[in-house]
A and B are shown apart, each in its own frame.
Chain A
């Protein structure tokens, strides 16, 4: 067995038992990156020297017996997290020259616990996308291909680099962020686990903002337990983020072993979307069957406002983005394109610095906040958002968690769905409601479709009840026994 095949929990135990060193583990990953990343473009920056130094420090700590939860564990960091002294681009040309003088709270928490950072993961520009096609640094290819078809598929987005790296075993785990599904959808496409915790569970400080009221950091990993271990390190109250929740971080890994006996699992009937692939419907039913077999009670529930989730998301998220992205003006940091006066400086900098999808959303956001349109769009969307949250609050009075498909399709090919932005936006239909309501959601790989592509199931839980989400996710994982591996991977 090669080192890169170990799960995070196994690697952690191996390091502590001194079966291998942190330097050996990191070197295995750096070699794998060198071999595999050129085909995937999952990393936009590999920080090999810093990684080796961190690994040596980890070995010293392990030798001294003073290790943290993640000492020596090599991770990829989505390029949305500011990393001190390490270029952070958010996948955008406008931040191509930006080297933050500070470390985001989430990555600082991981470093505190001894993690090794292999490099920065590619992503859709400013986390806007479901395909990783919008990165200024080129698209990420999924490590998976359809049976008998070599065309490059998308890894999903926006955390496509993170998901592809973990799936292809060129990172043991990765940080990601989820504004409308950007953790869960790529996890589903890449056959790995991804959890978006409750809004406020992880600090947003030092994460380049897309839509502040929706953005939430979380991990992608190869197993539910690995994701639980990572989230345990990433999460926690941070006084520097006013929306951070002042709550203790539970033992998420322990929750993975709870089982689902006696839990009530809701099945929202509105998620039975017309035109959804029959194999996804079948997998969903199978997942519910597994949970029933494990002792859970399955109940039908209704989330009547779900159908408005996507439309309102595409008002709220661009509105906040249009304001959040105003700071990229070429005046203080990042790329600047010269202009004869201030207005021209802005126009040139932003015209050259932002890609098409970012411009589209800035325009939509500016429009929906404009005088005369605010009430009809933004205000209405906020009201609907409150109703979506109310739906969940009502439902969670009678069930402990909900189970749905993560995405309406498996991964698609690079270049597909590119003609019409709306088709692309439909990818988020099952994931967006969790962001609109702030509740936690996990995607767990549950099976393969007819073309041998992974499909994920999503578990949604009550606010700040990630423990139940992990418990249900782990039960699905155990029952599914998902062992398929992508074609492009370390040692593959």
Chain B
């Protein structure tokens, strides 16, 4: 079912395109040697180039260009072997040059595509229009002094990739799925850390609404949305606002808006009338960026396995469901963890444990997959204890909790706590006899046809054996005694 919003005049379709700004992982800035680490003391990572001192010149950072190309390859996009840097001119206190070096007419990456998976099991392709490199601006701090503004130029000149999607997105869910998928690809590629809280990934959300079959109506751009949840909320809030405008007989004006997460609404930032004339022109300090096809090919050959390919392989090699596979490949570290656990073992069981108890443990402990409370090797050894019959599944959960608490090896825990599964048939027979003897009326009911009571007997026998009975042997013994 296509997503629509029901207004007083009928159903409205939502049309969304995203411009994602992704900070390039690179030791130095796009055109200077200054460092890019997050959280450094203000103005401690600023070269004379970044501060636009007289006579300073930009020199392109080859690694930043390689990162943009890797990203383009990861988005199955055209790589433009010749691209160009342009100047986007405007005045602001945290823009030292008085212009941003960007790529306007000739971006380094052209059309590409991102596949997104939706909750109903369907998939969808979102087109990528282009990816270009540009400089970040500095930061203005207006709350540090009663009458002055402070400027921090640490970000000034940091390389950003602006990734522009086609207006292919049709719902908040699709917008969220797109950002998540894009972030996942960028992280796999190692071209952006995708950290939205630190501002490494930010989205400008272009929203318009229309009736089915109509041409596009006027769009508004919601700037600088900094979480997946806010992207989804901003799409919905802005669509609802526009529908209200149209349905009250008004006209949506093209403008730039901000999303207020506290109020869950967008509000105007600047209108078309005070839109800048950026006076774009080719930056005369820089030569065109000319790439060798062989260099691009070498980057392509060195790309890691990306989420889609990995998901397909997990389904194929491990027999996982598409859903489980998607969950496990979303983060490269999770996929790696899973493969370490699954290697040489029952992959489905491994997937269940990783996505079940292990993920729950991550949540509970607040730890990350990179710094897990239980290593993949230890979890693997726990699975081995189940596989060789040392413990059963129920006891395994107990051992898992003990591993979380103590950090000890599963085999040690099993030994120390005497959790080894009982396979001694005489002990099982004795427990079965005792349970049947204590419940003569239930035995009678069972024998008169109340089959469901079999579970009751199993539970009681296991209870009597402190959970350590071998479930198969317990079942067999009960079946035999009850006829």
- B48/A102 in contact, CB under 8 A: yes
- A240/B57 in contact, CB under 8 A: yes
In angstroms, Cα B38 to Cα A447, docked, is 65
Given that A98-B54, A326-B97 are contacting pairs, would A331 and B151 also be in contact in the complex, using a CB cutoff of 8 Å?
yes
Within 8 Å CB of A101, what residues of B? Answer: 48
Question: Which A residue's beta carbon lies closest to that of B278?
Answer: A371
Interface: A241 (CB within 8 A): yes
In angstroms, Cα B151 to Cα A94, docked, is 21
Q: Which of B89, B96, B151, B277 contacts A323 (CB 8 A)?
A: B89
Interface: B260 (CB within 8 A): no
Interface: B121 (CB within 8 A): no
Q: B39-58: which have CB < 8 Å to A?
A: 48, 51-58
- A100/B54 in contact, CB under 8 A: yes
- A369/B51 in contact, CB under 8 A: no
Interface: B356 (CB within 8 A): no
Interface: B389 (CB within 8 A): no
- A327/B97 in contact, CB under 8 A: yes
Interface: B285 (CB within 8 A): yes
- B285/A100 in contact, CB under 8 A: no
Q: A230-244: which have CB < 8 Å to B?
A: 239-243
Number of interface residues of A (CB under 8 A): 43
- A366/B98 in contact, CB under 8 A: no
Within 8 Å CB of A323, what residues of B? Answer: 87, 89, 98-99, 279, 281
Interface: A205 (CB within 8 A): yes
In angstroms, Cα B108 to Cα A122, docked, is 43
Interface: B37 (CB within 8 A): no
Q: Which of A327, A346, A374 contacts B54 (CB 8 A)?
A: A327
The stretch of A206-214, A454-462, A470-478 that contacts the partner chain: A206-214
Within 8 Å CB of A239, what residues of B? Answer: 59
Question: Which B residue's beta carbon lies closest to that of A244?
Answer: B57
In angstroms, Cα B10 to Cα A199, docked, is 65
In angstroms, Cα B280 to Cα A323, docked, is 10
Within 8 Å CB of B149, what residues of A? Answer: 342
- B54/A208 in contact, CB under 8 A: yes
- B52/A332 in contact, CB under 8 A: yes
Within 8 Å CB of B51, what residues of A? Answer: 332-333
In angstroms, Cα B57 to Cα A346, docked, is 23
Per-residue 0/1 for A325-357: is the Cβ within 8 Å of any B Cβ (1 yes, 0 no)?
A: 111010111000000001000100000000000
- B59/A370 in contact, CB under 8 A: no
Q: Which of B57, B60, B96, B284 contacts A327 (CB 8 A)?
A: B96
Interface: A104 (CB within 8 A): yes
Shortest beta-carbon distance from B390 to chain A in Å = 65
Shortest beta-carbon distance from B245 to chain A in Å = 27
- A374/B281 in contact, CB under 8 A: yes
* Interchain Cβ contacts within 8 Å, total number: 99
Within 8 Å CB of B98, what residues of A? Answer: 323, 325-327, 329
- A331/B54 in contact, CB under 8 A: no
Q: Which of B58, B277, B281 contacts A378 (CB 8 A)?
A: B281
- A369/B55 in contact, CB under 8 A: no
Interface: A82 (CB within 8 A): yes
Per-residue 0/1 for A183-219: is the Cβ within 8 Å of any B Cβ (1 yes, 0 no)?
A: 0000000000000000000001111110111000000
Shortest beta-carbon distance from B159 to chain A in Å = 16
Per-residue 0/1 for B156-192: is the Cβ within 8 Å of any A Cβ (1 yes, 0 no)?
A: 0000000000000000000000000000000000000
Shortest beta-carbon distance from A32 to chain B in Å = 29
Interface: A319 (CB within 8 A): yes
Q: A67-116: which have CB < 8 Å to B?
A: 81-82, 88, 90, 95, 98, 100-102, 104
Per-residue 0/1 for B40-83: is the Cβ within 8 Å of any A Cβ (1 yes, 0 no)?
A: 00000000100111111111100000000000000000000000
In angstroms, Cα B54 to Cα A319, docked, is 18
Shortest beta-carbon distance from A98 to chain B in Å = 7
Main DSSP-derived SS at the A contact region: loop
Within 8 Å CB of B56, what residues of A? Answer: 205-206
- B48/A104 in contact, CB under 8 A: no
Per-residue 0/1 for A221-259: is the Cβ within 8 Å of any B Cβ (1 yes, 0 no)?
A: 000000000000000000111110000000000000000
Interface: A178 (CB within 8 A): no
Given that A211-B284, A326-B99, A327-B98 are contacting pairs, would A242 and B60 also be in contact in the complex, using a CB cutoff of 8 Å?
yes
Per-residue 0/1 for B283-320: is the Cβ within 8 Å of any A Cβ (1 yes, 0 no)?
A: 01111000000000000000000000000000000000
Interface: B377 (CB within 8 A): no
- A242/B91 in contact, CB under 8 A: no
In angstroms, Cα B279 to Cα A317, docked, is 15
Shortest beta-carbon distance from A94 to chain B in Å = 10
Within 8 Å CB of B269, what residues of A? Answer: none
- A82/B54 in contact, CB under 8 A: yes
- B55/A212 in contact, CB under 8 A: no
Within 8 Å CB of A243, what residues of B? Answer: 284-287
Given that A323-B89, A369-B89, A369-B279 are contacting pairs, would A242 and B284 also be in contact in the complex, using a CB cutoff of 8 Å?
no
In angstroms, Cα B55 to Cα A207, docked, is 5
Given that A242-B60, A323-B279 are contacting pairs, would A329 and B91 also be in contact in the complex, using a CB cutoff of 8 Å?
yes
Interface: A467 (CB within 8 A): no
Question: Which A residue's beta carbon lies closest to that of B54?
Answer: A208
In angstroms, Cα B33 to Cα A240, docked, is 11
Shortest beta-carbon distance from B86 to chain A in Å = 10
Within 8 Å CB of A325, what residues of B? Answer: 98
- B93/A327 in contact, CB under 8 A: no
Within 8 Å CB of B151, what residues of A? Answer: 331
Given that A323-B87, A326-B99, A342-B93 are contacting pairs, would A95 and B54 also be in contact in the complex, using a CB cutoff of 8 Å?
yes
- B91/A90 in contact, CB under 8 A: no
- B54/A90 in contact, CB under 8 A: yes
Within 8 Å CB of A322, what residues of B? Answer: 89, 279
Q: B3-31: which have CB < 8 Å to A?
A: none
- A242/B54 in contact, CB under 8 A: no
Per-residue 0/1 for B394-417: is the Cβ within 8 Å of any A Cβ (1 yes, 0 no)?
A: 000000000000000000000000
Shortest beta-carbon distance from B65 to chain A in Å = 12
Shortest beta-carbon distance from A39 to chain B in Å = 30
Within 8 Å CB of B54, what residues of A? Answer: 82, 88, 90, 95, 98, 100, 208-209, 327, 333
Binding site for A on B (CB under 8 A): 48, 51-60, 87, 89, 91-93, 96-99, 149, 151, 277, 279-281, 284-287
30 A-B residue pairs with Cβ-Cβ distance under 8 Å, sorted by A, are: A100-B53, A102-B48, A205-B57, A207-B55, A208-B54, A209-B55, A211-B284, A242-B57, A242-B285, A242-B286, A323-B99, A323-B279, A323-B281, A325-B98, A326-B91, A326-B98, A326-B99, A327-B97, A329-B91, A329-B98, A331-B151, A332-B51, A332-B96, A333-B51, A333-B54, A342-B149, A370-B277, A370-B279, A371-B277, A378-B281
Give 20 A-B pairs besides A242-B58, A242-B286 with Cβ atoms closer than 8 angstroms.
A82-B55, A95-B54, A102-B53, A102-B55, A205-B57, A208-B54, A241-B57, A242-B285, A243-B284, A323-B87, A323-B279, A323-B281, A326-B89, A329-B91, A333-B53, A346-B91, A366-B279, A369-B279, A371-B277, A371-B279
In order of increasing CB-CB distance, the 4 nearest A-B pairs are A326-B98, A213-B284, A212-B284, A369-B279
